């Protein structure tokens, strides 16, 4: 009997502080109508004193609790993020220390908004190598630390948060069975979405002034077109690979970047709007945390029910994109 990877537990956490669109009107030249009509976002959660690993820790506790596991049972910790606490040590190592565990594998993964799906693919590979593995996969971001609050085209889009999943091996038909995952990238278009500051190509020295290169810069029109095209194509590809059609899908759960993108992907795939999960209005774009927050939220709220076939579709800087099929 074939071994599959399963999501045994899910959890998410967002900061308490909320920035509404009205709050942003006091910070930058914008208004609620402009933001809502272009993005569908009404509010976003923003950290006060929390760090990336703080958010990851809270989400991980919930995922472990739902999985009925203790942190000491884990064999690997993977954190997908581009806004970790610091370059060294990794956020995954900081999370391990916070969870009170050591002497297991830990690593951060950088694929921007696609990071969680990429991390799921890495976890699947590790479980295939060792079916006894028990892996914590977390997408955690403090995106607002990399937002230029003077740039109204980007600062209105993002929020902070974390989502986590516990992945294990199995051979039966338990809920959370990952049927397949596909990930792709194209560096030719990478400069359309960047955070350059701090990298070796944009290094700095003590006393330098912080510049716009340290924050998210995006060619919105190009990103929109590539996001819709790539998420649609990879969703069709993974369905075809599994001998399925969009009619077999009970829930489409796309990256929560922008309501226009979510609606365009659903329309191109030909899925009914009532099957498409969206919570971008409440949380904004939380990058690598977007998919796991949405997955945990949809499961907790009952949008995803036992027996549902869920199609994940994501897109991010790099440029990267990916898709997963999960049978609940």
User: Strand 309-316 to strand 320-327: parallel, antiparallel, or no bridges (unpaired)?
Assistant: antiparallel
Q: Does residue 255 carry a catalytic annotation?
A: yes
Q: How far apart are the first and last CA of the chain?
A: 19
State the virtual CA torsion across 289, 294, 295, 300 in degrees, nearest 10.
Answer: 120
Residues 41 and 52: their CA atoms lie apart, in Å, by 22
Out of 13, 53, 76, 255, the active site residue is: 255
Residues 6+ apart with CB under 8 A from 93: 106
Examine the residue annotation and report whether 155 is marked as an active-site residue of this protein. no
289 contacts 139 by C-beta, under 8 angstroms: yes
User: Of the residues 93, 113, 138, 155, which is catalytic?
Assistant: 113
Given the residues 21, 148, 192, 285, the one annotated as active site: 285
Is the backbone peptide bond immediately before 239 cis, with ω within 30 degrees of 0?
no
- Nearest in space to 230 (alpha carbons), one of 193, 258, 260, 268: 268
The residue assigned the tokens 């990877």 is: 5
- List, by residue number, the catalytic residues: 113, 255, 285
């Amino acid at each position: 009997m074939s071994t599959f990877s399963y999501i045994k537990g899910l959890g998410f956490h967002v900061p308490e502080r909320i920035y509404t669109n009205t709050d942003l009107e006091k910070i930058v030249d914008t208004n609620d109508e402009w933001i809502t009509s272009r993005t569908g976002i009404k509010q976003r959660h923003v950290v006060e004193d929390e760090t990336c690993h703080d958010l990851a820790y809270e989400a991980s506790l919930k995922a472990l609790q739902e999985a009925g596991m203790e942190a000491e049972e884990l064999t690997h910790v993977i954190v997908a993020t581009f806004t970790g606490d610091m370059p060294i040590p990794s956020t995954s190592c900081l999370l391990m220390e916070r969870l009170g565990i050591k002497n297991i594998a830990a690593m951060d993964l950088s694929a921007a908004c696609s990071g969680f799906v990429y991390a799921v693919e890495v976890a699947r590979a590790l479980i295939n190598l060792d079916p006894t593995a028990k892996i914590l996969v977390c997408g955690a971001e403090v995106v607002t630390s990399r937002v230029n609050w003077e740039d109204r085209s980007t600062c209105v889009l993002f929020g902070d948060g974390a989502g986590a999943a516990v992945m294990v091996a199995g051979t039966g038909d338990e809920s959370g069975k990952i049927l397949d995952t596909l990930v792709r990238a194209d560096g030719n278009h990478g400069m359309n979405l960047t955070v350059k500051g701090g990298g070796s190509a944009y290094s700095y020295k003590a006393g330098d002034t912080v510049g716009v290169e340290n924050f998210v810069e995006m060619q919105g029109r190009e990103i929109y077109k590539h996001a819709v095209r790539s998420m649609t194509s990879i969703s069709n590809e993974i369905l075809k690979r599994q001998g399925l059609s969009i009619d077999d899908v009970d829930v489409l759960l796309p990256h929560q970047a922008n309501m226009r993108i979510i609606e365009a992907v659903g329309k191109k795939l030909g899925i009914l709007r009532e099957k498409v999960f969206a919570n971008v209005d409440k949380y904004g774009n939380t990058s690598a945390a977007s998919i796991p927050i949405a997955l945990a939220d949809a499961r907790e709220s009952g949008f995803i029910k036992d027996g549902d076939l869920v199609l994940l579709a994501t897109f991010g800087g790099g440029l990267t994109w990916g898709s997963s099929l999960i049978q609940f």
